[in-house]
Amino acid sequence: MRPLTILGIETSCDETAAAVLRLDDAGPHVLSDIVLGQAAHHAPYKGVVPEIAARAHVEGLDGVIAAAMADAGLGFADLDGVAATAGPGLIGGVMVGLMAGKAIALAHDKPLIAVNHLEGHALSPRLAPGGATFPYLLLLVSGGHCQFIAVMDVGVYRRLGSTIDDALGEAFDKLAKLLYLGFPGGPLVEKVAKNGDPTRFALPRPLSGREGCDFSFAGLKTACAREVERLGALTEQDKADLCASFQAAVLDILADRTLNAMRAFDPVWGAKGRLVAAGGVAANQAIRAKLEALAGERGYDFIAPPLRWCTDNAAMIALAGAERMRLGFSDELSFPARPRWPLDEDAARLRPSHKPGRKGAKA
């Protein structure tokens, strides 16, 4: 295979990122990987504000791209293509990155690869040396997405289950906001939970024990809000116990749903498969440990990307672009930014997790 050198650009939420990756017969090699976070911009609001995120992308992206190219020691003429996230995500941010990618591709006569952000996460475990080989069962858990996907090959994805209301990362963030822990909420809830009693609060485990691989976290969030209202003024121990009880409920839900997903995936793979966790929530150590233990019980290998490639990054976008380009795919400069873009279009159409809006079914 001829080596392919790709610039990746990621701006779907609140990280402005660029990376340069080379794909050859030995696998992917990350030559540079720059991520400019926006936590300080959004912290006063305890959540991501789309307009602020888009403005920060505009202000920071040129410098981030220049830094990525400088770290790789390459010029634009050395690239074989430009990959940019085209959705799903906050549409203002997606447009910033996609337009930058189009401009570079046009100015330097390079192919454009419009990448589905979810495909970036789906392929991210392949970034590490000896990364996942196809097929594998993917649990994608992040602030905006929560679903099981059978990853059969590049571009071949089958959704087995999805959240019917909120994503898990969103639930972590909402609890952190409720307890005034700060932003981003996931790492803070995990940290506070270490000092708490996971048995103190009897929180629900929505959909546990039922058939299928779908998730629901809205009821768990509501139960936490009711406990806060019931307690009134919270002590630090109250917060720790609630975080620990919340995380315990999450672990039980994930274990229950993952077992069902494995049973659905087993006929595809056989007696032994691979369980992959990706997305920002996959950086949670308690969740990783639970999934690794569960995989071992079922005879699965457990694989997760290094922590820096769990959260949004451009290395995974560059890899997805390189993998697609290797197969002969590229996109027209007219490719639109998409706020919603399911990996499995058939599943989204036949079993929508949300009612379609003007832009179609949600991811």
- Over the stretch 64-94, which tens digit does the pLDDT of each residue have? 999 999 999 999 999 999 999 999 999 999 9
Q: Could you tell me the CATH number of the domain that includes residue 50? A: 3.30.420.40
Say yes or no: 122 and 144 in one domain: no
Pairing of strands 136-141, 274-278: parallel
Q: How far apart are CA 353 and CA 144, in angstroms?
A: 13
Tell whether omega for the bond before 339 is within 30 degrees of 0, i.e. cis.
no
Cα separation of 324 and 113, whole Å? 8
Mean of the per-residue pLDDT values for the chain? 92
Confidence of residue 358 (pLDDT cuts 50, 70, 90): very low
- The answer to whether the beta carbons of residues 59 and 189 sit under 8 Å apart is no
Question: CB of 84 within 8 A of CB of 97?
Answer: yes
Tell me the residue range of the domain where 182 lies: 134-304
161 and 291 belong to one structural domain: yes
Tell me: do 289 and 334 sit in the same domain.
no
Strand partners, 150: 137, 158
Same-domain check for residues 110 and 191: no
Whether residue 199 is found in the same domain as residue 332: no
Q: Is residue 289 part of a domain?
A: yes
pLDDT score at 350? 59
3-class secondary-structure state, position 220? helix
45 occurs within a structural domain:
yes
Reported pTM: 0.90
111 falls within a domain: yes
Number of domains in the chain: 2
Q: Give me 318's structure tokens.
A: 């560059």
**What distance in Å separates the CA atoms of residue 126 and residue 153, rounded to the nearest whole number?**
12
The answer to whether residues 237 and 294 belong to one domain is yes
Q: Return the higher-pLDDT residue of 344 and 350.
A: 344
pLDDT, one tens digit per residue, over 258-307 is 999 999 998 876 656 899 999 989 999 999 999 999 999 999 999 988 88
Task: Detail the DSSP E strand segments found in the chain.
Answer: 4-10, 15-24, 27-37, 81-87, 112-116, 136-141, 146-153, 156-162, 274-278, 301-303
Residue 18 has pLDDT above 90, yes or no: yes
